[in-house]
Amino acid sequence: MSECIFCEILAGRAPCHRVYEDDLVLGFMDAFPVAPGHTLVIPKQHAENLFEIDADSLAGVSRVSRKLALGIRKALDPDGVMVMQLNGAAAGQTVFHYHAHLIPRAQGSTLSLHPRIPGHAEELENWASKIRFALD
Ligand code: 5GP
Ligand code: ZN
């Protein structure tokens, strides 16, 4: 049992709504979405933050972020997609396994970063399946 929730997800011991997976990276829905379609991209190799992550994992997260942003755009048609990545508690990081947020944005919408309102499983899976279907 790892103390890292994202390592638990990677090991299949904690649930998630998967969008994409390859040998280096996993993409899945944020359990507390700040916008419809809020997706996380993580390296399979545990690294706390940008200061710790290895170059191949970082390149993998970057490549998959673009792939999933294209899928999100096709599936959900947002006005924009925000990529956000926090390093250290002082920067607002709350899960200490490197991750990039892909946050679909609507024109004029405001954003509350850690609302801690859980998404409904059905809704999360609906977004995940739409994005999965839209991936090239
Ligand atoms: P941070 O604040 O560290 O940049 O973002 C951590 C993100 O992980 C938050 O947006 C939070 O909602 C999400 N999160 C925390 N615990 C879980 C979990 O168990 N499952 C999933 N899918 N997301 C989580
Ligand atoms: Zn981890």
Q: Give the tens place of pLDDT for each residue, 60-90.
A: 999 999 999 999 999 999 999 999 999 999 9
12 contacts 3 by C-beta, under 8 angstroms: no
Q: What is the pTM of this model?
A: 0.97
User: What is the whole-number distance in angstroms between the Cα of residue 109 and the centre of ligand 2?
Assistant: 32
Beta strands in 1-136 (DSSP E): 18-21, 25-29, 39-43, 80-84, 100-105
User: Which residues have CB under 8 Å from 70's CB, separation 6+?
Assistant: 134, 135, 136
Q: Measured in Å, how far apart are the chain's first and last C-alpha atoms?
A: 35
Catalytic-residue membership of 99? yes
Q: Is the CB of 5 under 6 A from ligand 1?
A: yes
d(C-alpha 24, C-alpha 64), whole Å: 10
